[in-house]
Amino acid sequence: MQTIDSDPPIHFIQNIIAEDLKTGKYDGRVHTRFPPEPNGYLHIGHAKSICLNFGLASRYSGKCNLRFDDTNPSKEAEEYVRAIEEDVRWLGFDWDDRLYYASENFDQLYEFAVRLIKKGKAYVDALSPEQIRAYRGTLSEPGRDSPHRDKSVEENLDLFQRMRVGEFAEGEKVLRAKIDMASGNLNLRDPVMYRILKSPHHRTGDKWCIYPMYDFTHGQSDSLERITHSLCTLEFEDHRPLYDWFLNELNIYRPQQIEFARLNLNYTVLSKRKLLQLVEEKHVSGWSDPRMPTLSGMRRRGYPPEAIRDFCERVGVSKSNSTVDFALLEHCVRDNLNRTALRAMVVVRPLKVVIENYPEDHAEELTAENNPEDSTAGSRKIFFSRTLYIERDDFMENPPAKFFRLVPGKEVRLKYAYIIKCERVIKDENTGDVIELRCTYDPETKSGHSHASRKVKGTLHWLATTHAEPVEVRLYDHLFRNENPTADEKEYPDLQSSLNPDSLESIRGAFMEPFLKTAASGDRFQFLRMGYFCVDNESSAPGAPVFNRTVTLRDTWAKIAKKSPRRR
């Protein structure tokens, strides 16, 4: 399997930067930015962009800004600003003192707009939004000029000024760039630069009732911040001519826009609109629900930031869209946690076992490894006693072939302890359910002792009932039933029915080793044979952790990769 590579392969953007450094295009500077709109929480797709932008800056000793692209006050909020900052920091990146808001440029952008009006390159239009759409034409038909296109500069300046002071209602007027209604690129058919929005802004308050559109904001903000390489996703390829047009017409410093393929992941959606819908319709507990593909959800679930960065590295950067297997992300999480997580024993669905030949009222101290992958992790004490819990699934009365766990009359090893044999099964008289196993142990088989070499096929985790604390654990599965939730929209037009009804299982009757009581919020462990778990940062209380299963131990990616080794 691939490991973390300190010197990953060169991708096309690095080639571009290397060339620019060679020719001195930006005086040897590399300056990128990550430009989220504060209208939702960051998701794993954003992580790709964050790792790319901050990663390039650090690789080429450059800088990366964090810039909030806050031009749509009706959808944006301070809550999102704070969450985005927290998530970028958590991922391991730092913008130092380079925190910007596009809204800080509103005065400058207004002045830029006036400049274009004066050049005869922008005009105030009175067509309604519907009319503008109708006049725009289609990919096969040219658009038509607005009847308001040829007003004088003075008239346009006056109207724009009156838009600014609030004389018109929303939708009554817009400012448009005067480019070419017959352009083959729809983005160049006199795009709207400013619209009237009578909403207060989370940063500028009531100062403005006109707001610049994304296309009239983004490039100029890049220019004002003297960005060198403005990286964005492929959907913006057709916007690049407009990006360049504004900067050329304004005759200001020009960064280079470069597009790359966005990250798509199966079994989930990466659209803020859909994620917001999941939150608003309460299909999840919030943006940081552990099933969400948000960074806050993944943090709460227990994904280490290093694993997410490793994932983004392995996914790479290209020009063609594709969908990445969720199993690869989970593989990266396991790879990290296998090295870093302390081991513990937790019995999720307990079945009581009585060792009939073991003395009553005796607690025997045994030694358990904290992490076999980490020689510095040390060991801890665990206790064995006459009554134990094992996992209910680890016993079968009538097992199929190759069931190497506990069955009547057969032996199994208890990890760090003894080999036990199942002698009798006790059932509930009414329901017939197995409620207890009567076993014997072989005192000659204590783990770690030289004469303990007798081999049995299965090894189980367990807890002494005298040294077990009750705990709640939460098990998760994919939020959506099918691999491609977006393609399923036809089959399941409402979100509800495309969701996996079994994506969350909360189990309150589990037991844990007592030391886990002191685990702190966010601590991660491997519960032997059950998976990696993390202390929930919302519902845990001091001394009473609730554990989220981060990921199971079964690495489906390793299997897929073996079958088709070239797939990444």
Place of tokens 């990696």: 532
In the complex with ligand ATP, which residue's Cβ is closer, 43 or 301?
Answer: 43
Rounded to 5 degrees, what angle do the CA atoms 30, 258, 53 make?
A: 45
Query: What does DSSP assign to residue 352?
Result: E
Phi-psi region of 458 (alpha: psi -120 to 50; beta: other; left: phi over 0): beta
In the complex with ligand ATP, which residue's Cβ is closer, 232 or 406?
Answer: 232
- Of the candidates 17, 30, 31, 45, which one interacts with ligand ATP according to CB under 6 A? 45
In the complex with ligand ATP, which residue's Cβ is closer, 270 or 406?
Answer: 270
> With the C-alpha atoms ordered 98, 101, 102, 107, is the resulting torsion angle positive or negative?
negative
Place of tokens 């694993």: 307
| Residue 46 touching ligand ATP (CB under 6 A) | yes
In the complex with ligand ATP, which residue's Cβ is closer, 233 or 552?
Answer: 233
| Residue 36 touching ligand ATP (CB under 6 A) | yes
Q: What is the DSSP string of 495-515?
A: HHHHB-TTSEEEEEEEEE-GG
| Residue 143 touching ligand ATP (CB under 6 A) | no
CB-based burial, 433-458: b 16+ in 10 Å, e otherwise: ebeebebbbeeebbbeeeeeeeeeee
How many chain residues bind ligand ATP (CB under 6 A)? 15
| Residue 213 touching ligand ATP (CB under 6 A) | no
What are the backbone dihedrals phi and psi of residue 112, each rounded to the nearest 5 degrees, phi first? -60, -40
Segment contacting ligand ATP by CB under 6 A, of 40-48, 418-426, 457-465, 550-558: 40-48
CA distance 124 to 158: 9
| Residue 415 touching ligand ATP (CB under 6 A) | no
Q: Which residue is nearest to ligand ATP (CB)?
A: 45
Q: Which of 25, 29, 37, 121 is catalytic?
A: 37
**Residue 249: both structure tokens together:** 């017409």
Segment contacting ligand ATP by CB under 6 A, of 45-53, 318-326, 434-442, 500-508: 45-53
CA distance 351 to 73: 56
In the complex with ligand ATP, which residue's Cβ is closer, 128 or 322?
Answer: 322
Least separation, in Å, of the C-beta of 291 and ligand ATP?
Answer: 17
CB 437 within 8 A of CB 411: no
In the complex with ligand ATP, which residue's Cβ is closer, 199 or 233?
Answer: 233
Strands (E) in 372-468, as ranges, are 379-384, 387-391, 411-414, 419-427, 434-442, 459-460, 462-464
CA distance 227 to 401: 64
Least separation, in Å, of the C-beta of 40 and ligand ATP?
Answer: 6
Q: In the sheet where 31-34 sits, what is the strand order?
A: 31-34, 63-68, 99-101
Active site residue 402: no
CA distance 516 to 520: 9
| Residue 232 touching ligand ATP (CB under 6 A) | yes
In the complex with ligand ATP, which residue's Cβ is closer, 49 or 228?
Answer: 49
Q: Which of 25, 98, 262, 410 is catalytic?
A: 262
CB 12 within 8 A of CB 318: yes
Segment contacting ligand ATP by CB under 6 A, of 31-39, 57-65, 85-93, 409-417: 31-39
Instruction: Decide the pairing of beta strands 350-355 and 434-442.
Output: parallel
Least separation, in Å, of the C-beta of 281 and ligand ATP?
Answer: 17
- Of the candidates 37, 436, 442, 488, which one interacts with ligand ATP according to CB under 6 A? 37
Q: Which of 272, 301, 343, 524 is catalytic?
A: 272
Least separation, in Å, of the C-beta of 102 and ligand ATP?
Answer: 11
Cβ neighbours of residue 192 closer than 8 Å, sequence gap 6 or more: 132, 174, 175, 176, 213
State the binding string over 260-279 for ligand ATP (x if CB under 6 A, else -).
--xx------xxx-------
CA distance 190 to 181: 6
Least separation, in Å, of the C-beta of 72 and ligand ATP?
Answer: 10
In the complex with ligand ATP, which residue's Cβ is closer, 178 or 218?
Answer: 218
| Residue 35 touching ligand ATP (CB under 6 A) | yes
| Residue 250 touching ligand ATP (CB under 6 A) | no
Query: What does DSSP assign to residue 8?
Result: P
| Residue 233 touching ligand ATP (CB under 6 A) | yes
In the complex with ligand ATP, which residue's Cβ is closer, 125 or 259?
Answer: 259
| Residue 305 touching ligand ATP (CB under 6 A) | no
CA distance 296 to 466: 37
CA distance 510 to 503: 19
Least separation, in Å, of the C-beta of 196 and ligand ATP?
Answer: 22
How many whole angstroms from its chain centre is CA 537? 16
- Of the candidates 48, 189, 331, 413, which one interacts with ligand ATP according to CB under 6 A? 48
| Residue 300 touching ligand ATP (CB under 6 A) | no
In the complex with ligand ATP, which residue's Cβ is closer, 263 or 530?
Answer: 263
Q: Is residue 529 exposed (0-12), middle (13-18) or buried (19+ Cβ within 10 Å)?
A: middle
Active site residue 37: yes
Least separation, in Å, of the C-beta of 213 and ligand ATP?
Answer: 13
| Residue 49 touching ligand ATP (CB under 6 A) | yes
Please list the residues that pair with 389 across neighbouring strands: 352, 463
Active site residue 262: yes
Least separation, in Å, of the C-beta of 354 and ligand ATP?
Answer: 54
In the complex with ligand ATP, which residue's Cβ is closer, 126 or 197?
Answer: 197
Least separation, in Å, of the C-beta of 52 and ligand ATP?
Answer: 8
| Residue 290 touching ligand ATP (CB under 6 A) | no
CB 311 within 8 A of CB 531: no
Restricting to residues 64-83, name those near ligand ATP by CB under 6 A: 69
3-state secondary structure of 161: helix
CA distance 46 to 33: 12
How many whole angstroms from its chain centre is CA 462? 34
| Residue 474 touching ligand ATP (CB under 6 A) | no
Residue type, position 62, single letter: G
| Residue 293 touching ligand ATP (CB under 6 A) | no
Mind telling me the catalytic residues?
Answer: 37, 262, 272
Binding site residues, ligand ATP, CB under 6 A = 35-37, 45-46, 48-49, 69, 232-233, 262-263, 270-272
